[in-house]
Amino acid sequence: MFKKIIISIFLAFIAFVIGRVGHIYGGQLKTPHHWIYGAICMIVGAVYYKKSWSAYVFFFGLGMLVSDYTDFTQLKTFQPDPPGIKRFWAID
């Protein structure tokens, strides 16, 4: 049980880092925002909640969604991010 919690937190952190790198290097592209991929992963994890891997997929999606939380709350889908300073350890 403890091992599963630690792995889930680690996967959420890795997804957050991947999301931030994608935001900094790919934010100017007109592609889907990564919160969409996070929401899809969370839905898949919730639908298959009886499977052993579902918590890992859910927490990976949670990390992706949190890394792009501001765009999620504004429901931005395909708009490029406005130019400006991009911070790695931030939620924007």
Confidence (pLDDT) at 92: 67
CA quadruple 22, 65, 70, 14: dihedral positive or negative? negative
Q: What integer pLDDT is reported at residue 14 of this predicted model?
A: 97
Q: What is the pLDDT of residues 15-69, one digit of tens each?
A: 999 999 888 888 777 888 889 999 999 999 999 999 999 999 999 999 999 998 9
* pLDDT given for residue 37 in this prediction: 93
Whole-prediction pTM: 0.87
Asked if 34 and 68 touch (Cβ cutoff 8 Å), the reply is: yes
